[in-house]
Amino acid sequence: MKTANREINIGDLAPDFEAQDEAGKKHALKDYRGKTVILYFYPKDNTSGCTQEACDFRDSFGKFFKKGAVVLGVSPDSAKSHQGFKSKYNLPFPLLADEDKKICEAYGVWKEKSMYGRKYMGVERSTFLIGPDGRIQEVFRKVKVPGHIEELIEKI
């Protein structure tokens, strides 16, 4: 199995990307220059950990907004899947469809995982804080959902 070998570090220029959200609107990282971007990667819509994480971002969205930060969620799910997920949980931020996993690979979050002894490729739950200059300010890998939002708010 191939694992992504790209490691993104603090100070690196964030890899640019272009993807469609749940409504078919295109988003490119370069469109957010001048703003702080919270780019969070999650494995799958409508799973318990991912739902909790998305709802935590939703519940703290006002705090991020006040700090001038934009929240973008990314997973390999389709725009149609994202549409249902966003609607079901009233998520106030775009969910980007990365079905070809190009964004996940660019950020080094498409990794070999293991569950019950079975190996498979999947998204390592990760968050990247990207500064207004397009550089990585913070990297959170193997994110544990409880407490992650508070940790992130402190860093902005």
Active-site residue set: 50
119 φ/ψ sector (left φ>0, alpha ψ -120 to 50, else beta)? beta
Q: Tokens 């929240």, residue?
A: 71
Q: Write phi, then psi, for 7 (nearest 5 degrees).
A: -110, 125
- Report d(CA 118, CA 68) in Å as an integer: 42
Q: Give me the residues paired with residue 73 across strands.
A: 40, 95
Q: Tokens 């519940």, residue?
A: 59
Cβ atoms within 10 Å of 77's Cβ, excluding its own: 25
